[in-house]
Structure 1
Amino acid sequence: MAPAVGSRETVGLLALIFGLVAIVLAVIPFAALIAWLPAFVAIGLGIAALASKSVARKGRGLAGIILGTVAFLFAIFVSVASLFWPTMPFGPTAGDTTAELHDEPAGGADDGAADRPSQFEVIAGTATGDPDDPFAVGEAIEVTNHGEPYYSITFGATNPDAADVVSSENPYNELAPEGSSYVLVPLTVQYHGDGSDATRSPVYDLRVSFATGDGGTISEDYALIPDPFFMLPELQPGESATGNLVFVIPDGTLDAGTWLVDVGWDGVSFHAAVR
């Protein structure tokens, strides 16, 4: 005689559904705080389905127990991470010349330097690096860490109309919006070291934007270009590399702005002339 199939047969199905819901909630920050509710329901229904003789399909109940258990454990992990994981501050104030940054070299050297807060400073050369006194094109801008040479950063000549470069690199690149143009600028970075053999990634350490004359900023565009800056490798002490950056800038505003460079997170910033 086949087992009776009635309302109890849905217990296993409900266990499976609640288990899936719990899994989805468990992987979403803050939603994981309530994921334990459907997880417990899934486990309870799954146990009931396995214990009931009138439930023919035990696999659903077992799946509900497994999903509920995994969701409960994962919800604990995600909840703790969401509540206590330290948030990273963004964006230094333009014009700042010194700041502290708790940072570790990409190479992870274990000589004490990695545990020391970074203290970056821009060394004034022919200019101060302020918005009204930017560094010149081609000038090596020196950045130190605890008074020791760290980076040399040099902007090359700006291409104010790089539409042909962008379109030839990839035909699927979109055209610049009407009234704007693609602007390409090469950036050369030399890493001097920090007293250890650790490598550093200029892509991680440096962020470049276009500072408009009215106080706004324009971030780098995502168009595909030759030799992009974001593809630069990690550098050993003494090594240098050059990469291109591309921006979409409203026509007629290029000469009124500057390149704004942020070094480190909540570190130091300076301005460089566009041309």
Structure 2
Amino acid sequence: MNKSEKIISDARKGNFLADLPDLLEIATRKGGARGPVWEAAAAAVQILFWTGEFAQAADLTQDLIERDGPLGGELCDQSTPFRPALLAGQLYADEPAAPRLAACAERIPDGRYMRRDFEWLSQELPRQGVEPLLPCHSDWGGAVRPLDGVIGAGLVDRNYHELDRKQRRLVWEALSETNDFTRAHQLLTDTGEEPEQYSICLWMAGWYATRGEVEHGEQMLLAAHSRWWPFAKWDAIPDAPVLQPTLRLVVTDKVRDHYLTRPIGPEAQAAE
């Protein structure tokens, strides 16, 4: 692991706030290897989301891309969390995203993923708005969709207690896929068993948020914490709970403290 990855790993032990200054120091370096710089910036941006510093996260993202984008390194193949940093800057810090997306895209060589993504976003943003373009958006409060053709549909009406672990996961996935929160809530109530999948915990938390059931939403976000796993070494902390406006309704002080101070992912597993 490089220095940034070591700091990020330490942050995932519950030291996010303590390690943020070191990550910001590396993220703003102008010399040296660039891989650790963008990795530190990515992790810092995620932590800044949780501390509510959305303007700083957007500024850090734009400064990084303006400086390192023309170099054509690994940064140019990334998306999250830099994409949501610019989007969230509009939603929570009154910093229009489309001009920043377009300006950042100009700093990235033709053909690279980040440039294509940012160009598409700057054009799509006026049509969709910010919220659907942020991570883990769901049709909270929307209609139930048919089960026809959905994987796991044939298991939904089976006795849940007679299903094995894989089948139970498929039941939750089918309910989420069809947006059938009523049945999902009843299943949780009847069994006391929360879904194993991080994304489905977020889906349920959002539904509870739309119903004003903060305590239940809080419970699902706390459950989601133990189910999250980083998809890359720089991935420090899940950010959807504080990016999605609906989920933010159930990000209580208890949830925020839990995410910022408790071990998570592989570091939590190692601590068990």
- When normalised by structure 1's length, the TM-score is 0.24
Structure scoring higher RCO (CA < 8 A, sep ≥ 6) equals 2
- When normalised by structure 2's length, the TM-score is 0.24
Answer 1 or 2: which has greater helix percent: 2
Answer 1 or 2: which has greater strand percent: 1
